[in-house]
Amino acid sequence: MSETKHGADWWRGSVTYQVYPRSFQDTTGDGSGDLKGVTRRLAHIASLGVDAIWLSPFFKSPMADMGYDVQDYRTVDPMFGTLEDFDALVAEAHRQGLKVIIDQVLSHTSDRHPWFVESRADRTNAKTDWYVWADAKPDGTAPNNWLSVFGGSSWEWDSVRRQYYLHNFLASQPDLNFHNPEVQDALLEAVRFWLERGVDGFRLDTVNYYFHDRWLRDNPPLDEAMAGTITATNPYMYQTHLFDKTQAENLGFLRRFRALLDEYEGRASVGEIGDESRSLQTLAAYTEGGDKLHMCYTFDLLGPEFLARHVRGCAEAFEKNVKDGWICWAFSNHDVVRHVSRWARPGEDVHAVAKFAITLLASLRGSICLYQGEELGLTEAEIAFEDLRDPYGIRFWPGFKGRDGCRTPMVWEAGAANAGFSTGKPWLPIPEEHRASAADVQQGQPNSVLSHYRAMLALRKRHSSLMRGSITFIDGQDDVLAFFREASPERLICVFNFAQEERRWMLPPGTLIFDEIEFPGRNAALDGVAIRLQPLGCFLGRVL
């Protein structure tokens, strides 16, 4: 496999495309996507100009949580194909110049995993403490007040062991006991299995959930909960999660994980941090020093805030708090409402929002991740309750509708049955309004969202200042975001108008723009000592 021009450091400034295999391309007619389908569509991904693909879980699983409940870490679920299909996918991806990153769900397994089946059998077996077991309180209630992300207590009673076990998500997703070195050893061997098959990196699911507090101390309530000002749909958000995640012992395991990756040339890792109040501190701890993760992402830009000051605040906080670590920015993924639906205001063109968003994302300092379908400007789908497959959404309906709305199948051909995704009934319905944005409709159209994505990713690669340069923010109007990106000898100015009205933004004193960078659909221009930006206007230029 050939390395990029940055060799083993290819991940720094890279662009990764997330594939949700079940919704990408079906080749068998069963209505669910598969690995052969991903291989078939690799040319589309490569044409965007990305560096890597991230495959969401495809391992053997009962699919209670769509594959994030792993039954066998070393086997492909028959729904997705075979190990041979995976090997063929990796080979073809490498042939097309794409790295392959796979999801590793290490914090928990399925309750059907052989490890858990053995662990729950009695209190004396070889895997008795491979999971987090605890006795009931004298009154029979759970060991403490910890809550599951998916609702209710995070403790489930087991009638055979007559103990509770911990599950941060579904009751069918018991948490592994990382305080046991044998558990760590077994998981690292599973990781090695995929390294030996040629994968280039790993996305670590819920990376800060691995360890729990040994003493099972209660979480304190959130200050807003005490004050009665919280309005969260999920009671999980009422606690300050001091003891059920983000424990200091995690750093030792991440060093072991990195040491394993470093045995192989050019491998990389990105961690998902779900930490409501300490995300940047956690990101810094997990990525600094060069001996743990290569990069992490948080949920800071995966929320509803579409404001210049919010983006600046997130980026500046990272620059201030994280010295030698690295971040991966994303606006959408398989767990959140698609960003064009989150951010488009009433009457606003969602395709204009999509173009604005990728121009901004491609200009930020860090690596970036795209989610399948965002290059088509796909909106969040409305899913009827009877069609829901997401247990999270089913549990909290109708206050929270779950994650199925961003997981509907890709639309490849506007006029084909099921938009070219499958010859059978898709596992989730395909919104009719998505057909107008199908890949074949946008292909070759210079003003399409798809063309804009390709152009912006190509522009990003042409400018080292965007790939790896420093970032310095410029004060200005509240709804205009402006910053310099610099990597000697180049210095760029990047300006974005978040408003729905035209803005004339004054250049900082002494700033001289000698070259306006052209890109498709540019809707801003130099106007003397100012930049005139149309609604959702973006400007990039070289400065002295």
Catalytic center residues: 205, 263
Q: Tell me the C-alpha distance between 257 and 106, whole Å.
A: 11
Q: Which residues pair with 531 in a beta bridge?
A: 505, 526
How is 433-477 classified by DSSP, letter by letter? GGGGG-HHHHTT-TTSHHHHHHHHHHHHHH-HHHHH-EEEEE---
DSSP character at residue 301 = T
Q: How far apart are CA 132 and CA 127, in angstroms?
A: 11
- Say what angle helices 350-361 and 449-462 make with each other, to 10 degrees: 10
CA angle 127, 128, 130 (to 5 degrees): 60
Contacts of 508-515 with C-beta under 8 Å, sequence gap 24+, read 508/474, 511/543, 512/543, 512/544, 513/541, 513/542, 513/543, 514/542, 514/543, 514/544, 515/541, 515/542
How far apart are alpha carbons 543 and 527 in whole angstroms? 15
Q: Using omega within 30 degrees of 0 as the cis cutoff, is the peptide bond preceding 57 cis?
A: no
Close Cβ partners of 263 (under 8 Å, ≥ 6 residues apart): 195
Q: For residue 59, list its beta bridge partners.
A: 76
The residues, ordered by sequence, that sit 6+ positions from 465 with a Cβ below 8 Å of its Cβ are 485, 486, 487, 490, 491, 492
Nearest to 21 by CA among 61, 72, 48: 61
Dihedral, CA of residue 295, residue 298, residue 304 and residue 306, to nearest 10: -40
Nearest to 181 by CA among 189, 173, 169: 189
Rounded to whole angstroms, the Cα distance separating 245 from 291 reads: 21
The one-character DSSP state at 370 is E
Alpha carbons 406 and 428: distance in angstroms, whole number? 10
**H or E element, residue 394:** helix 391-396
Tokens representing 500? Answer: 């729905």
